[in-house]
Amino acid sequence: MKIIAEIGTSHGGDIEKAKKLIDCAVESGADYVKFQWVYADEILHPDTGFVNLPTGKIPLYERFKELEVEPAFFEECLRYTHEKGAKFTCSPFGPRSLEELLSIHPDAVKIASPELNHIPLLKDLAGYRKKNDIPVIISSGVSHLGDIEEALSILGREKITLLHCITSYPAPEEEYNLKVIPSLSAIFGIPCGVSDHSLDPVLVPSIAASLGASMIEKHITLSKETDGLDDPVALTGEQFALMSHCIRQCQAAFRQYGENAKGYILKQLEDEYGERIQKILGDGVKKLAPAEEANYGRTNRSLHFMRAMKAGEVINVEDISVLRTEKVLSVGLHPRFLDDVIGSRLTRDVQNGDGVQWKQLL
């Protein structure tokens, strides 16, 4: 069982802070440290809306622009991670970040939940995997079974780890439905774990470990009071170390008791947490959690116009992007239809940022 410390963008572009986070992750028991290779243009439209931060209300696109760093930043993070004895993984968000990430030879590529349906990104990664044997980790928050199946049909199933996830910050523990971990593993024939956005350092990771999770991912921060986008839901080093200890204790129980360890672990947790454990276990059926239902379509990728266009114009490749809709824009067509949209003629005027719809196309 592998533990991933998700640093994400909490380094704020400061390489010394990034190294402190790597130190913290490794000292707290992480096998992998994970970053996010951000280019705002690959994620959001400039008019996507605003985000509330302690410093005030600012455009979400501008917040992502602030998180952009040079490739040399991640190359140094990779080198330092290896020096500390851990593995390096990172999430790309589009073709440019994927190409640059692959050029530094990470130990694995992580596809985040909103990019599970980024078909062009997945195809680019699949093309690379035909010649280069690189592991891939994919999160499955805010998705249906069909979304996972489509992603795997592109990426293949060799050296793939699937992480069950709830795309909500924070995610309610009682909605995690962790019995879905063995269900997904059986359905797709690949190792499955969890990417946990809940606040408790023990509950979800320990239950997931009892169910045979192959990998557990959780955000880490130097302080919950800093201004990283995910810092409020991240674990401090002390909390992360507690989580790692609990996971390793679960592993030790399996070594000692075999399959009987599952009941032993769950009984201990029920003695401490009561009926919450059964709620967190759920029914094992893959479905959207209540906390993320409203995000489906908006957090995932869809097709958006990148300029205002007039009826009768022909859509060229540079007129469309595969983006998260997020705050205020209309949701567009699924990215699988990108090739069908390119070359179509508009039946009506469209605004910059609009989601692409069939009724707009001839």
In tens, the pLDDT along 205-259 reads 999 999 999 999 999 999 988 777 888 899 999 999 999 999 999 999 999 999 8
Residue 204 lies in a domain: yes
- 130 and 268 fall within a common domain: yes
Q: In terms of pTM, does the model score above 0.85? A: yes
Last residue of a domain, one of 223, 248, 281: 281
Residue 287 lies in a domain: no
Last residue of a domain, one of 281, 310, 337: 281
Own/partner pairs for 22-27, CB < 8 Å, 24+ apart?
A: 22/77, 22/80, 22/81, 22/84, 22/86, 23/84, 24/220, 24/222, 24/237, 24/240, 25/86, 25/220, 25/237, 25/240, 26/81, 26/84, 26/85, 26/86, 27/237, 27/241
Residue-wise pLDDT for 10-55, tens only, equals 999 999 999 999 999 999 999 999 999 999 999 999 999 998 766 6
Residue 289 lies in a domain: no
Would you call the peptide bond into 170 cis, given omega within 30 degrees of 0 as the criterion?
yes
- 149 and 271 fall within a common domain: yes
Beta-sheet pairing, 56-59 with 87-92: unpaired
Instruction: State the residue range of the domain holding 104.
Output: 2-281
Number of domain units in the chain: 2
Residue 57 lies in a domain: yes
Residue-wise pLDDT for 59-83, tens only, equals 999 999 999 999 999 999 999 999 9
- 277 and 308 fall within a common domain: no
Residue 107 lies in a domain: yes
- 244 and 310 fall within a common domain: no
